[in-house]
Chain A
């Protein structure tokens, strides 16, 4: 039974088509990732899914109920955690939670109970009555997530919840999302961190330029790239010269150069590595480090779009 089904979502801002025919489904207990770089259309997509932004085309149903900007039914099943921190700075965490809890129609007794539970989960129980403008960035992030959890939604939408968070809080957030998945909540998680998508998501959609380029489990996606490995070379000297010198090697699938490094996609890195290093020496380019990476979502992304997830 799918909690979320969406299909054919389109959204244009003037001439810019921000989302172009996006569609997928998420089952109960499944965590689904939207992996894509800045401006890929992640936030625009989920804004339409959550019934916040009017779509130009497409349909969304949650728990079988259609969601648009004008529906109220069905929205109670969605928990939405915006990318930007969305809390009232002059209210305390408890007051923020209480306000949104009331909007979601939680009865008073249940609300009081849930507020305490959520405060415990997000680790703000001891600061719950302080104004949130006195909180640290990480604390605000946690409250931002807590508000989305309050009414125990069957679909939780998290828009890059770990941006700007210290490693410890980040880990706590990821563990929390994993736990939610296990408890049967359908989770829609957007990120441009490949590691997060790999760790959390049962299935991942790779989105770029408003389009879903590929979708599947990690294994399925990696298979799209074949058995290719990524070789990262630290370069002392001219990276473009090295790229040029490597060009004739036919086993190399693709090469991209950054300032002091070169990334090479090959099938069977271990056999080819000596030849690559030889070529570098002949081209008179020094190598400061070598790293071989087995295929991952980063390389899938590179393969599909010809560019890196983050630049």
Chain B
């Protein structure tokens, strides 16, 4: 990557990045990995999800992402799944076992695992 030289280059690059991360066939599984998440075991959860995604051959469709704090520290580790065209779903109190269930049910069968859902109680400014 060479340096961006002006605003046009930045805009082009932004559009390219946006396409890369949020195309219509891009499923994102986000694992909250701030200090508290990691202390609660988010590292293992991430590995478990990444492993399951590989095992089930979902590597092309699904990106597993390490993010910062999602705000629900009381329910760490937290995982958010967003499928294009659908409302994203926030899950709490995930361990490596439950992580696999999420991948199987939510991604493979498109079934929300209701008993682990946390209410997403915020809006984001655009």
Q: Do A and B bind each other?
A: no
B residues whose Cβ falls under 8 Å from a Cβ of A: none
Residues on A close to B: CB < 8 A?
Answer: none
